[in-house]
Structure 1
Amino acid sequence: MKEIVTLYRPVNAKELELIKQSEWKAFPPRLPDQPIFYPVSNFEYAKQITVEWNIPAYGNGYVTEFDVDKNFLSQYRQENVGADLHNEYWIPAEELPAFNAHIVGQIRVVYEQHA
């Protein structure tokens, strides 16, 4: 049995619709000005991004939760970008298809908020 790591990703409604179109199995490609896909390691940090960035910018925000094959994820370092809870993985945009292929099960919405 594969060992998994549970990660979180804050998204807006447009991104969520693309995830839904993938049958809840993949995150959409990054935009040209987004060289990194950065899932975060805990719900609290994902919620903070949703409340502080996505709600003001888009009027909506969702936190997704998903499981990734731990062995695959081990090739990426966990980066701390602030306080103790601000841990994320930096996945180069061109590696996102391989990352998506190692999601175990489906992407789940665990929080949502609207302005």
Structure 2
Amino acid sequence: MTAPPRPTTTLWRPTGPVELELVRESGWRAWPPRLPEQPIFYPVLNEEYAVRIARDWNVKHDGSGYVTRFEVDTEFLRRYPVRRAGGRTILELWVPAEELDEFNAHVVGGIEVVHEFH
């Protein structure tokens, strides 16, 4: 008898074309390491917030923006308190760059693109 699947939490990540290509190269399974000036990885808890960032920031700075959706083991995520970065729906998790490999190990299934802006 197999164990029931562990509960997961849906997260979104607004991203530009460079980061998205690195996710593609991982087989849609992992987020790339942070750059030295990026000490935190910020997945968000609200699709609308991710859309706003991808559409309004990534397009302006990178020429295109994407919203990805992925599932992460809920129990693992409890180590990261939810951070409010503005209004009541502007919620993020702050994952230290040095913990990103462990975070990626708790991604369940693949990372998928759900919105694209140019």
TM-score, normalising length from structure 1?
0.98
1:86 alignment counterpart: 90
Letter in 2 for 1:113: F
Q: Choose the corresponding residue for 1:95, options 85, 96, 99.
A: 99
SS of the residue corresponding to residue 9 of structure 1 reads: strand
Q: CA RMSD in A?
A: 0.5
2:81 alignment counterpart: 77
Q: Choose the corresponding residue for 1:3, options 7, 10, 17.
A: 7
Count of residue pairs brought into register by the alignment: 114
- Within 5 Å, which residues of 2 pair with 1:45-84? 45-84=49-88
Letter in 2 for 1:38: Y
Distance in 2 between residues matched to 1:71 and 1:98, nearest whole Å: 13
Distance in 1 between residues matched to 2:17 and 2:37, nearest whole Å: 19
2:35 alignment counterpart: 31
Letter in 1 for 2:15: V
Moved over 6 A (4+): none
1:22 alignment counterpart: 26
1:51 is displaced (CA, Å) by 1.5
Distance in 1 between residues matched to 2:49 and 2:104, nearest whole Å: 21
1:111 is displaced (CA, Å) by 0.2
Q: Which runs of 5+ in 1 are unaligned?
A: none
